[in-house]
Amino acid sequence: MMENLFYSPFDLAVIISSMNFGLQKENELINFIWENEQNFIQPKYRNSKRKFVLNIYYWTNYLNNKADIDLEFPAVKNDLSELKLRKVSISVIFLISICSLKVFESALFLTIKRDM
């Protein structure tokens, strides 16, 4: 229940994004929170400043560039669909190759056995 009262990197990103700080001011605020208010940070981020800062900047970047990032989702979805089709195609080609190889091996075996 207390977990809900701690700041997450997303919470801090929302605050930072709404303040329209420059990068230097953002860094100063994040460092201040890290050094002076760690008791208010979610426990899973208290042991790694790097993890804490990277998560804040991940969400800050997303919030500041949400419109552009959201425009990319259809292209990413399309790329994934094509990748899945290619994967299925490659799997089918591989399966056909294996079956062809088995047929060839059987024919070869029969030919060798017949010639003996």
Query: Which residue has better confidence, 83 or 102?
Result: 83
Q: How far apart are CA 68 and CA 85, in angstroms?
A: 27
Return phi, psi of residue 61, to 5°.
-60, -45
At residue 19, what is the residue type? M
Radius of gyration of the chain (CA): 28
For residue 13, count other CB atoms closer than 10 A to its CB.
Answer: 21
pLDDT at 49: 95
Share of the chain above pLDDT 70, in %: 67
Please tell me whether the overall predicted TM-score, pTM, comes out greater than 0.85 for this model. no
